[in-house]
Structure 1
Amino acid sequence: MDGTVLIADDDRTIRTVLTQALTRAGCRVHATGSLNQLSRWVDEGRGDLVITDVMMPDGNGIDMIPAIRKARPGLPVIVISAQNTIVTAIRATEAEAFDYLPKPFDLPDLMARAGQALSRRVRRADPAAQSPAAPPPEAEPATDPTLPLIGHAPAMQNLFRMVARVLNADLPVVIAGEAGVGKTVVARSFHDLSDRREAGFVVLTSADPSEEAIQRAAERALGGTLLIEDPAGFDSAAQARLIGMIEAWESGPGRNQMPRLISTTGPDPQAEVAAGRLRADLYYRLAGVTITVPPLRARVDDIPPLARHLLARAATQGLPARRLSDAATAVIRAHPFPGNVRELENMMRRLALIAAGAEISEAELRQTLQDSQPVMAQAAAPAPSAPRAMSPATGMAAPAPALSGPPLAGLGESANMRLAQSVEMHLQRYFDLHGDQLPPPGLYDRILREIEKPLLEIALDATGGNQLRCADLLGINRNTLRKKLTDLNIEVTRRRKLM
């Protein structure tokens, strides 16, 4: 790798890591914590690549890109940002950044992109021979600051990049995904962040299948966006009307006012076509590009920040301001969320209302998870006399499971079998919640953690907090017990056991 790289980031650690990595790769590096210094270097003609953060003490890195393009056409800019939102990705794309990476980034990935940028760079020529600079991009469009499209997970970052690329393209879009993942929110962002935002945004559902309803929706959406919710849910006659409407737009005199067509579907729209629920000729008219919104279980690391975001949004809507405790955060991260973002949002709003203090406790979160389970699932649980523990891995109240092998001391063979069967029932339900998909990786450790924590807590309580006796009871080394108590964040209170 050859070239001079200009780095602007107010985090000294990031500057040091990037400087060392790029220097080892053969580059010359200038690093600063100031956009003003970066601007001076660019004006002096230094650098073959710029790597800049967004939020800096003296400005915004994305806002500076137009000035860089004006002074140095062809100088590539890679944007790195801890603001992992769709708006950041779109603004970086609109400003014609070479690339955009969320923090924390994968260093080999950034190095590979830097290598690509340096290999494609346009060396600075004689200023007199340079072509006129392109006009700067428009200012950031007005957006809803509460838009819950945030996420660092690769699946969400890929979604952000795809939305940014096709935001203003004249292509129909299919947004696929499970119920509750936020498909309508993504569709709305297409409209609100695009150059069609001043025109209408109209939603058409299977509840409006008549020719008159479709015609009225089409007229209101002219020049704007028409969102067709679940076209497979329309009857065959209504699907035929939609095809006729699209054909009339494409071949008629009003083509210039044709709205952007966006459709939301289940996770596999082609399966809907194969099953005959969605006409193939309609699907291929709607699927100029397909964007899949990942379920929450595919981006587990995004759950805590998304939960905090939803709590903050609830506070702006008049609900009490709350925050999650560390223990509650660990529980919510392990919950499978079959209802996806919609389930998470409802849960955060409920907790904002019922929490006793400013911080939501683990007990309050577990109770909310338990109360939100379907009645049938709770009815399938064992008798109330059996010990119960809330399992965020399965999202259900479950008894402590029996270990394989001989019956547990103090329990008969039939009681031990009931425990094993109950555990099997809850685990099977957890797999069933994911349909044709497998649960997210790491299931073995998650399940063991859920079994281990209540076991240790009950054993500690039974031994009055005496770790030596507890370790002996469990049959494990005392040091092993201490490590597990630390890893599971179990507080030990020593007390005298009353007999």
Structure 2
Amino acid sequence: MDGTVLIADDDRTIRTVLTQALTRAGCRVHATGSLAQLAKWVDEGRGDLVITDVMMPDGNGIDRIPEIRKLRPDLPVIVISAQNNIVTAIRATEAEAFEYLPKPFDLPDLMGKAGQALSRRPRRTSDAVDAQPELQGGPSDQSADPAMPLIGHAPAMQALFRMVARVLNADLPVVISGEAGVGKSMIARSFHDLSDRKAKGLVVLSAADPMDAALARIEAQVAGGSIIIENPASFDAAAQARLVGMIETFEADPEPSRSPRLISTMGEDPQADLAAGRLRTDLYYRLAGVTMAVPPLRARIEDIVPLARHLLARTATQGLPDRTLSDDAAALIRAHPFPGNVRELENAVRRLALTAAGPEITAAEVGDTLAQGLGADRLAHLGERATPVAERNTRQMPLAAGADTPLSDAVDAHLQRYFDLHGDQLPPPGLYDRIIREIEKPLLEIALDATGGNQLRCADLLGINRNTLRKKLTDLNIEVTRRRKLM
């Protein structure tokens, strides 16, 4: 890898790690904690690649990209950010960033993207910088905007955000599928609210709406705007036929700019609705220009606690008490299957914000709230109230040093309680992967601690390839100490 890389990040540790990695790869590196210094280097014609954080003490890295492109159209910019929400992905795409990577990122992945960026542009020869100022700057506020409902660091959510960003302003109709409560309606609204149609009309159609009144609203309000159709499979046959006729009218309009964007939400398996005759084939294929699936909460376990804390922050902006989660409370929330997905989590968080006895929510309070959400019949089946994580670990699953309890017995007890939690119902699908992840994460964390954060020794201890270990650390979003954190 050859070229000069300009790094702007207010975290000195990240600057150091990236500088060392890129230097070892053969690059010249200049790092700063200031966007003003970065702009000065760019204006002087220095650098073949920019890597910038978003939230900086003196501005927003994405906001600087248009200025960089105006001065240096051929200079690629890689954006890195702990603002892991859909707006960041969309804004980075709209600003024509070469790549956007959420923090904590996988260092080999970033190095690969940097190599691609450097290989796709002409080399510059005059990049000498007299000094490489390491400007001091404390960590910026990387917390998510409380008004933003869509956040997620999990790979599945980041892939979804990138897909939304790519087609946000396209004219193609969009189908958003997924289980109940995953946030399909929020994403549908984002397609309108974050697009270049946001100043125009929006009409939401559901099966409960009288079709004549709905079509009249569309005619009056939605020229060039958006129409969200909620679960068209729930519309009766006559209403679906009216929808087909409406779309045909849009397609025949001699002024394409008047045609609205069609955004539809559907269940987790639209093909099953087609096969069962609940959804007209001609309607589906008129709506499914682009399809994207929203993952259930159990497929993004690493997002559950950050999302709960985000929702708590949002409730505080809505007039409810300002609360935080204790570590045991967070662990209990993370272990819950949340069959109702984000909607269930949000309901639980609102109840906790209202009913918690103090500013910090305890595990006992979380246990009570989650048990109430199961219903009285399942609570009776459990035979006891939920207990804090620490208490449960010592009383029901004795794994302390020197204990004689075999691991298999402890796992058996844990799994039996998990099945008991669901009463007469089976747990949600995907149980095998969820349990493996729950066991794998502490195993990797303890092994890393035991080897002092040395990933090569840790991989050897576990008997796996070092690259496999790196991938697992990223996939499991393991929060690690600075000495072993993947920057």
Separation in 1, partners of 2:101, 2:48: 19
1:432 to 417, 422, 426: 426
2:434 to 436, 441, 452: 441
Equivalent position SS for 1:390: coil
Query: Contact (CA 8 Å) 2:363, 2:388: kept in 1 or not?
Result: no
Match for residue 95 of structure 2? 95
Equivalent position SS for 2:104: coil
Equivalent position SS for 1:174: strand
Separation in 1, partners of 2:414, 2:306: 36
Q: 1:260 to 1:421 in 2, by over 3 A?
A: closer
Match for residue 309 of structure 1? 310
Query: Contact (CA 8 Å) 2:367, 2:385: kept in 1 or not?
Result: no
Q: 1:352 to 1:38 in 2, by over 3 A?
A: same
Q: 1:99 to 1:274 in 2, by over 3 A?
A: same
Superposed CA deviations along residues 357-415 of structure 1, whole A, max 9, x for unmatched, are 11111111111111111233234345xxxxx353899xxxxx9699xxxxxxxxxxxxx
Superposed CA deviations along residues 211-266 of structure 1, whole A, max 9, x for unmatched, are 44334335422221100000111112211111111011101234321111000011
Separation in 2, partners of 1:433, 1:215: 45
- 1:25-174 equivalence runs, <5 A: 25-123=25-123, 146-174=147-175
Match for residue 129 of structure 2? none
1:199 Cα deviation after fit: 1.2
Query: Contact (CA 8 Å) 2:298, 2:434: kept in 1 or not?
Result: no
Superposed CA deviations along residues 43-81 of structure 1, whole A, max 9, x for unmatched, are 222111110111112221111111111111110000001
Q: 1:218 to 1:124 in 2, by over 3 A?
A: farther
Q: 1:420 to 1:362 in 2, by over 3 A?
A: closer
1:344 Cα deviation after fit: 0.9
Query: Contact (CA 8 Å) 2:160, 2:294: kept in 1 or not?
Result: yes
Q: 1:360 to 1:292 in 2, by over 3 A?
A: same
Separation in 2, partners of 1:286, 1:356: 48
Is 1:289 aligned with 2:290?
yes
Equivalent position SS for 1:105: coil
Q: 1:170 to 1:12 in 2, by over 3 A?
A: same
Query: Contact (CA 8 Å) 1:229, 1:263: kept in 2 or not?
Result: yes
**TM-score scaled by length of structure 1:** 0.75
Separation in 2, partners of 1:421, 1:52: 45
Match for residue 326 of structure 2? 325
Match for residue 226 of structure 2? 225
Superposed CA deviations along residues 248-295 of structure 1, whole A, max 9, x for unmatched, are 110123432111100001112122112221111111111111121111
Query: Contact (CA 8 Å) 2:363, 2:387: kept in 1 or not?
Result: no
Separation in 2, partners of 1:427, 1:263: 35
Q: 1:231 to 1:439 in 2, by over 3 A?
A: farther
Counterpart of 2:71 in structure 1: which amino acid?
Answer: A
Query: Contact (CA 8 Å) 1:209, 1:234: kept in 2 or not?
Result: no
1:352 Cα deviation after fit: 0.9
Match for residue 363 of structure 2? 362
Match for residue 185 of structure 1? 186
Q: 1:25 to 1:228 in 2, by over 3 A?
A: same
Separation in 2, partners of 1:21, 1:84: 24
Separation in 1, partners of 2:418, 2:173: 45
Q: 1:124 to 1:257 in 2, by over 3 A?
A: farther
Match for residue 248 of structure 2? 247
Separation in 2, partners of 1:330, 1:64: 39
Match for residue 200 of structure 1? 201
Counterpart of 2:32 in structure 1: which amino acid?
Answer: T
Q: Which runs of 5+ in 1 are unaligned?
A: 127-143, 383-387, 394-398, 403-418, 450-499
Percent same amino acid at aligned positions?
Answer: 69
Match for residue 386 of structure 2? 390
Query: Contact (CA 8 Å) 1:201, 1:224: kept in 2 or not?
Result: yes
- 1:268-287 equivalence runs, <5 A: 268-287=269-288
Equivalent position SS for 2:7: strand
Superposed CA deviations along residues 177-234 of structure 1, whole A, max 9, x for unmatched, are 1101111111111111111111122110011253443343354222211000001111
Is 1:371 aligned with 2:378?
no
Query: Contact (CA 8 Å) 2:329, 2:361: kept in 1 or not?
Result: yes
Q: 1:333 to 1:420 in 2, by over 3 A?
A: closer
Separation in 2, partners of 1:77, 1:420: 48
Superposed CA deviations along residues 443-482 of structure 1, whole A, max 9, x for unmatched, are 58569x9xxxxxxxxxxxxxxxxxxxxxxxxxxxxxxxxx
Separation in 2, partners of 1:267, 1:93: 27
Q: 1:114 to 1:319 in 2, by over 3 A?
A: same
Match for residue 215 of structure 2? 214
Query: Contact (CA 8 Å) 2:364, 2:386: kept in 1 or not?
Result: no
Match for residue 353 of structure 2? 352
Structure number with higher relative contact order (C-alpha < 8 Å, ≥ 6 residues apart): 2
Is 1:5 aligned with 2:5?
yes
1:113 Cα deviation after fit: 0.8
| Count of residue pairs the alignment pairs up | 406
Query: Contact (CA 8 Å) 2:203, 2:217: kept in 1 or not?
Result: no
**TM-score scaled by length of structure 2:** 0.77
Separation in 2, partners of 1:390, 1:428: 13
Counterpart of 1:238 in structure 2: which amino acid?
Answer: A
Separation in 2, partners of 1:37, 1:425: 57
Q: 1:355 to 1:269 in 2, by over 3 A?
A: same
Larger Rg: 1
Q: Which runs of 5+ in 2 are unaligned?
A: 127-144, 390-394, 399-412, 443-487
Q: 1:110 to 1:224 in 2, by over 3 A?
A: same
Separation in 1, partners of 2:155, 2:98: 18
Separation in 2, partners of 1:40, 1:420: 58
Query: Contact (CA 8 Å) 1:86, 1:160: kept in 2 or not?
Result: yes
Counterpart of 1:426 in structure 2: which amino acid?
Answer: D
Equivalent position SS for 2:30: strand
Query: Contact (CA 8 Å) 2:364, 2:387: kept in 1 or not?
Result: no
Query: Contact (CA 8 Å) 1:218, 1:226: kept in 2 or not?
Result: no
Equivalent position SS for 1:161: helix
1:25 Cα deviation after fit: 1.5
